[in-house]
Structure 1
Amino acid sequence: MSSLSHHQQIEEGFQTWNLPFYFSKPVVRHLLHFIDGMSSIGFTGKLTEIHALSHHAKHRTTLGHFLQHSPWNESFLLRQSKKHVLRNMKKDEPTFLLLDDTISQKTKPSSQATSPIQATGFHFSHTDGKSVWGHQVVQLMMANQQTAFPFDFRLFCKEQDQSKIDLSLEMIRQVPTFNHPTYLLCDSWYTSKTIIEAAFCKGIHTIGAMKTNRILYPKGIRIQAKQFATHIQPTETNFVTIGQETYRVYRYEGALNDLANGIVLLCWPSDDETLDPKNMRCFLSTDVELTNEQILTYYGYRWRIETYFQQVKGHLGFQGYQVRSRKAIQRFWILVQFAYLFLSDIYGKSFTQTIHLVRKNKFASIIEFVHNSTKHGASLEQIKNELQVA
């Protein structure tokens, strides 16, 4: 057992997750240091930071070797994470699948670089409004009405045969079938025929943003949604309040391009009495039984995946990692997802609350260790050596 109480808490959590049953003691020890280092103040993604911040006794190169060459089975860690998520899904309320992608931006290497980071490329960033160099990840989260959990992900590489849609289909098809209502929430990039049909095959309805040039068929007339909007009168809309915001909403039910029947909500700000098409946003639901309020409320849960991206980039090193091989990158991302779930689980709180508690407890743990060591006659040099700060 470690002399640091916050390490002991992680070790006890590992027992609950059955990790020592599947992994050797050296692997479990490495996992502990990754969890500790990733959750520390100042961590940006570098392995040297994990080595320093987690008081690792071995040489820092062992961390890189652990990611790139060690024979531990990272797929088991991903399976345990998925089992944890599924246990948190409530059977008496809808389950939501959140689908989106994000970019971990990197510096483009020189053409003379001998060992550039693998699987990188140019990807369009909506945040920056331009193409940036880095890795793009397609992420699937699972959520209930209270919280959301990272469930699965795929690395998208333009050189491979699979598109982002293909990777999404792969993840959707691996989701277990639920006996209660399940909804896939996504932005307009993913509300495609193939995604919707794959979700249907799993008994999953789709709710997503929709491009305004999507074809509708009101009264059998083929017309783009934005053109159809010019024929709508303000008196044909209803006010719908979601949270603190109120919208003017027109409900269309009928055929769409590649979809026999669905609901499309054409929405404007409540103060737009002219129904300007430039201010309009469209939302699609394949579940025609839902009310306007339900569709917009459920779609609002999709924002949680954006929050997740911000959290893992800001706190767990998802943006700043510097490992180079594809295998090491994949393993690092699995560790990031595991850390997010594991820490929230052992503290029983949201990740935002958890990360502050983890850091506070770690500081207290080090103070406690120094106090107890001094009380038992340890010298300053001995304490520094034990904490790996000598």
Structure 2
Amino acid sequence: MGISSTNISIINNFLSNFKELFSKKQFLVFVLAVYSLLMEYKRNCLSSMASNTSLDYQAFQYFFSESRWNLDELNNKRVRVIENQRTTKSTDDGVLVIDDTSCPKPYAKNTEGAKYQHCPSLNREEVCNAAVVSAFSSKSKYFPINLKSYLPESEFPRGKKDYRFKNKLTLAKELVCDAISKNINFSYVRVDSWYASVDFIESMDAKDLKLVAEVKPNRLINFYHPIKRRHCFIKQDELVKLIGSFYSHKLKPVCVRHPNGYRRDFLCCSFKSELKDCSVKVKVAVVFGRFSDEDSKSIHVLITNGLNAYASAIVSKYSLRWSIERVFKELKDVFCFDQYQVRHKKQTERYWMLCFIVWSLVYWIKQNGYLNKTLSGKLESFNDYKKALGSLLFLGSGISISKNRDSVCNLYGLKSHRMKKALGLAA
């Protein structure tokens, strides 16, 4: 049975926020597209989505490719809906996280942007679509803000010299400006070592934004060398050895606690310093310990341009970056973010934004506890909420069918009076 427009107020109240952005026909397809992404799939594509609704494939294809609606306006409205409620909005104690994600497409030949490049999801080279994503993260809230597709230089006639080409660092800086324009509240910009370039650090400092980042192993840090008896620029591995041999007494315990009771303990040595060829003064925190069970590194060297920040604050703000990994996992594992069969960048970005909308719907319901008194079962994960909402949609569609017998018979081409009677659709 295909899902049709149904009166599930908890879903429709959220989706009604976007009604002004579409024509009447467009909004119907938009609603059904959201409904379809709440269904279960072994492998998703537009035809699978259409088969779960009362619309045909052509309607979905047109909506994602040719239909005139503005992607930025849709996302801006989504963020405003999140920011308009205390339970979901960003707060000053959170951070703005910038990171990239990818959707592996090993067999793609004609998909725009799908090239052999570094694939963050697999941590190796692979044919994939890539995007740089911004997200808000605090101890109690997290949500995606925006994304920008990354097109490799091979997509442009003049390569890196093409005026349309933008590298990931440029996209990251644009996403920071975008978050500011959306009035997102945050105390720090959080990036990993790949984005912590001199250009990015100086750009954030010029905007009076606090930055916390990990630095690459080959980055040279100014430190007093006890053997040479002078300050000099040294690599991380030598810095760690010197701290262990000569400055172990300066290691301070730092504990990071999470709302669910989970905690991590670290040893940390912090000091004011500077990076080679960087004009911005920084505070360095050498952190001994793993930030998660999946963390492959037991030692992290962090920096911030907040020179008065305590080591505990630096470690705590850095640890909030893992929320964006959680967003990526939920988008891909629960809402089929990486499962699409479209060729053009415009279609891909529209599909990704629909996944953002559905994720935000579940986040909005989850944070406000809207299903706590509706269902008897305990809902915890995003997948639990997705399954619950999918069940409500099936129930609502069934009730809708029982009230609209003639339209259902016309939809499925039922002519036999005997069959109509057997299905309870006879007058």
- TM class by smaller structure: 0.7 to 0.9
Provide the C-alpha distance between the structure 2 equivalents of 1:378 and 1:126, rounded to a whole number of angstroms: 50
1:168 maps to: 172
Within the candidate set 322, 328, 331, 2:341 is matched to 322
Q: Between the two structures, name the one with larger relative contact order (CA 8 Å, sep ≥ 6).
A: 1
Contact 1:103 1:135 in 2 (8 A): yes
Matched, 1:104 2:97: no
Residue identity opposite 1:237 in structure 2: L
Instruction: Report how far residue 59 of structure 1 moved.
Output: 2.0
Contact 2:268 2:285 in 1 (8 A): yes
Distance 1:304 1:377, change over 3 A: closer
Residue identity opposite 1:261 in structure 2: K
Residue identity opposite 1:14 in structure 2: L
Provide the C-alpha distance between the structure 2 equivalents of 1:84 and 1:371, rounded to a whole number of angstroms: 29
Provide the C-alpha distance between the structure 2 equivalents of 1:76 and 1:105, rounded to a whole number of angstroms: 28
Contact 2:362 2:385 in 1 (8 A): no
1:222 maps to: 233
Distance 1:297 1:12, change over 3 A: same
1:359 maps to: 387
Instruction: Report how far residue 158 of structure 1 moved.
Output: 1.1
Provide the C-alpha distance between the structure 1 equivalents of 2:62 and 2:203, rounded to a whole number of angstroms: 39
Provide the C-alpha distance between the structure 2 equivalents of 1:371 and 1:71, rounded to a whole number of angstroms: 33
2:74 maps to: 77
* Matching of residues 280-299 of structure 1 within 5 Å: 280-299=299-318
Q: What percent identity do the matched residue pairs reach?
A: 17
Provide the C-alpha distance between the structure 2 equivalents of 1:256 and 1:216, rounded to a whole number of angstroms: 5
Matched, 1:336 2:355: yes
Matched, 1:309 2:328: yes
Secondary structure of residue in 1 paired with 2:180:
coil
Matched, 1:136 2:135: no
Provide the C-alpha distance between the structure 2 equivalents of 1:13 and 1:180, rounded to a whole number of angstroms: 23
RMSD: 3.1
Matched, 1:25 2:24: yes
Provide the C-alpha distance between the structure 1 equivalents of 2:61 and 2:345, rounded to a whole number of angstroms: 13
1:37 maps to: 36
TM-score (norm 1): 0.84
Provide the C-alpha distance between the structure 2 equivalents of 1:371 and 1:141, rounded to a whole number of angstroms: 38
1:5 maps to: 7
Provide the C-alpha distance between the structure 2 equivalents of 1:346 and 1:127, rounded to a whole number of angstroms: 28
Secondary structure of residue in 2 paired with 1:322:
coil
Contact 1:206 1:286 in 2 (8 A): yes
Residue identity opposite 1:363 in structure 2: S
1:264 maps to: 284
Matched, 1:155 2:152: no
Secondary structure of residue in 2 paired with 1:175:
helix
Contact 1:35 1:339 in 2 (8 A): yes
Provide the C-alpha distance between the structure 1 equivalents of 2:310 and 2:234, rounded to a whole number of angstroms: 24
1:120 maps to: 114
Distance 1:377 1:208, change over 3 A: closer
Matched, 1:231 2:253: no
Count of residues in Structure 1 that have an aligned counterpart in Structure 2: 368
Distance 1:384 1:261, change over 3 A: same
TM-score (norm 2): 0.77
Distance 1:211 1:248, change over 3 A: same
Distance 1:245 1:370, change over 3 A: closer
Provide the C-alpha distance between the structure 2 equivalents of 1:339 and 1:43, rounded to a whole number of angstroms: 18
